[in-house]
């Protein structure tokens, strides 16, 4: 069973969003990190880059494959988790604790299109 946290929003491509003071904190789910296996590299955008809902903003790399990261919301990147540059395996250790980027949202209503914890649980079939 993968860990799922109540109160977060989830995308079909297995990113989670937590809103803190109007900023969207974005990471990948526990289900996603398990599917990927050992994560060896996190490709992240730069601060001030624009991201768009439904579009790729980076990638997770395991030994075997690269998997695109899809932004659940649109806006401007205000912070990236630099700890992941040297220790990408933090995502395997705790995918919810180790967020990837923080985004200043341009349209908070985009959050309404995302799933809640119960819907995501059904989405991954657990």
Partner 1 sequence: MSENLNNAELLQTCLYDRHVALQAKMSPFAGFMMPIQYDTITVEHNAVRQKVGMFDVSHMGEIFVEGPEAEKFVNWIFTNEIRGFEPGKVLYGMMCYPEGGVVDDLLVYREFAPEHFLLVVNAANIDKDFAWIEEHAKGFDCQVRNESPVWGQIAVQGPEAEKTVVEVLGLKEAADLGFYTFYDTEYMGKRLIVSRTGYTGEDGFELYTSLEGTVDLWDRLIAAGVQPCGLGCRDTLRFEAGLPLYGDELSPEISPVMAGLGMFCKYDKDFIGKEALLDQKAGNLQRKLVGIEIGDKAIPRAGYPVELEDGTEVGVVTTGYHSISLDKSICFALVDKACAALDTPLWIRIRKKVFPGKVVKKRFYQTNYKK
Site residues, partner 1 (CB under 8 A): 37-38, 40-41, 43, 56, 58-59, 61-66, 85, 88
Q: How far is the CB of 37 from partner 1 (least distance, A)?
A: 6
Q: Which is nearer to partner 1, 41 or 79 (CB)?
A: 41
Q: Which is nearer to partner 1, 77 or 114 (CB)?
A: 77
Q: How far is the CB of 15 from partner 1 (least distance, A)?
A: 17
Q: How far is the CB of 89 from partner 1 (least distance, A)?
A: 10
What tokens does 22 get? Answer: 């109007």
What tokens does 7 get? Answer: 């109160």
Compute the distance between CA of residue 99 and CA of residue 80 in angstroms, rounded to an integer: 8
Residues contacting residue 63 through CB under 8 Å, at least 6 positions apart:
37, 38, 40
Cα–Cα distances in Å, from 45 out to 53, 58, 101? 14, 6, 8
Q: Which is nearer to partner 1, 37 or 116 (CB)?
A: 37
């Amino acid at each position: 069973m993968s860990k799922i946290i109540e109160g977060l929003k989830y995308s079909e491509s297995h990113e989670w969003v937590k809103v803190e003071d109007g900023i969207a904190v974005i990471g990948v789910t526990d289900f996603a990190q398990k599917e990927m296996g050992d994560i060896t590299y996190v490709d992240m955008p730069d601060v001030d880059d624009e991201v768009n809902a439904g579009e790729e903003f980076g990638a997770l790399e395991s030994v075997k494959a690269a998997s695109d990261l899809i932004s659940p919301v649109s806006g401007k990147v205000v912070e990236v988790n630099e700890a992941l540059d040297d220790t990408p395996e933090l995502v395997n250790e705790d995918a919810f604790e180790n967020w990837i980027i923080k985004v200043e949202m341009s349209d908070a209503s985009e959050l309404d299109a995302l799933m809640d914890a119960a819907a995501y649980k059904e989405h991954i079939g657990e």
